[in-house]
Amino acid sequence: MRTSRHLLVGALTLGSLIVAPTAVMASPAPPANPNASQHPATIGKDTLRSLAEEAGIEIGVAVNADLLAGNGKYRNIVNTQYSSVTAENVMKWEALQPERGVYDWAAAEALIANAEANGQVVRGHTLVWHNQMPAWLTGGDFTAEELRAILEDHVRTVAGHFAGDIQQWDVVNEIFNDDGTFRETIWSQAYEELGLPGEQYVADVFRWAHEADPDALLFYNDYNLEFTGAKSNAAYAFVQELLADGVPIDGVGFQGHLDTQYGYPDLRANLQRFADLGLEVALTEVDVRTFVTQKPNGTYTNTPADPAEAAQQVEWWAQTLEDCLAVEACNSYTVWGVSDANSWIPGWFTGQGAGLLYDTHNNPKPQYEALREVLRDAA
């Protein structure tokens, strides 16, 4: 039986979870008006969220707060297709505390209000990350003692403000390098200046967050944990240490940013080994990118350059969900963005894209149908 402290669902046998790789499915034909919505305003029985509920899993999406407020088709997809939402940016440090001691809650609160109105849970993202920090913090001249105090105040203030509204928090994000070394940040440097181990700030942040919101599930979130190797092994050992020290960590988030050029990871085995520590696990930022065709003017389309890799994308989407469903402790699966129209991928990986479930017109792709088929089989 798949269980969660926040959600109790019907029984699923192991045999119903381990399903054969899903074949490539044809997506619905685009409407005559590409801006028209193909999704009804109500939640139908064949939506991702309805099927996911039957399968006993939350299915989520990272949400752009501006598009949620201003784009009706985007908002309709978010509200009808997903049971969980993650704040793509509006809960990050630079958005919430743009000036020292001055908090801007409006955008995050609007996202939460929309989620509550539509029966969705919220994943908080993220309390502590080395990116997207405000200039006053990164450019400030603070002592180590001041930095530790700033860190504690931010974590306690943010977690406390949203207490009761967040199902899962990404408490710390991306704390390991790919070679398995601990990432050096202003926080680790400050702790070392205080004569403490640099990584000790992580344990402190989890404790402060738990004290501020005892009911939220607290996660460590990172990329490339899907593959067995130096990074995932180091993360595994570190999490064991946190647990041994009584740190209130509830789960590990596997981001799931995959690229067809690198091969499919041993995801299921890695999910399971962290779950075997007594933790929840989740896929938190799934997308599957590939190389796309280039126009004569040098810009790129959103069309995969290799049809075989386009088919592989669909298969990998299905496989990631199958892997999560096969691990009892994996109760949440989140895609990193609604559509290719607003994906982060082209801005970070030149010549790559087509990584999400919906195309640039916010219409469903074969990847979307592949996930529905997996969920039907799992239910």
Q: List Cβ neighbours of 165 (8 Å cut-off, separation of 6 or more).
A: 112, 116, 122
For the full predicted model, state whether its pTM sits above 0.85: yes
Mean confidence (pLDDT) of the chain: 91
Q: Domain-by-domain residue ranges, the chain?
A: 1-65+76-82+283-379, 83-254
Quick: pLDDT tens for 20-71. Answer: 333 333 333 333 344 444 544 466 789 999 999 999 999 999 999 999 999 9
- SS3 state at 214: coil
Q: pLDDT band for position 379 (50/70/90)? A: confident
pLDDT for the residue numbered 339: 98
Cα-based distances in Å from 204 to 137, 149, 170, 223: 19, 11, 14, 22
Mean pLDDT of 224-246: 98
Closest CA to 97 of 141, 138, 134, 66: 134
Predicted confidence at residue 16, as pLDDT, reads: 30
Distances from the Cα of 4 to the Cα of 58, 84, 231, angstroms: 10, 14, 27
pLDDT tens digits along 337-347: 999 999 999 99
Residue 106 — very low, low, confident or very high, per pLDDT cuts 50/70/90?
A: very high
Catalytic positions: 174, 285
CATH classification number, 83-254, choose in 3.20.20.80, 3.90.1150.10, 3.30.465.10, 3.90.580.10: 3.20.20.80
**How large is the average pLDDT for residues 285-296?**
98
Characterize the bridge pairing of strands 280-294 and 300-304.
antiparallel
How confident is the model at residue 2, as a pLDDT? 55
pLDDT given at position 42: 62
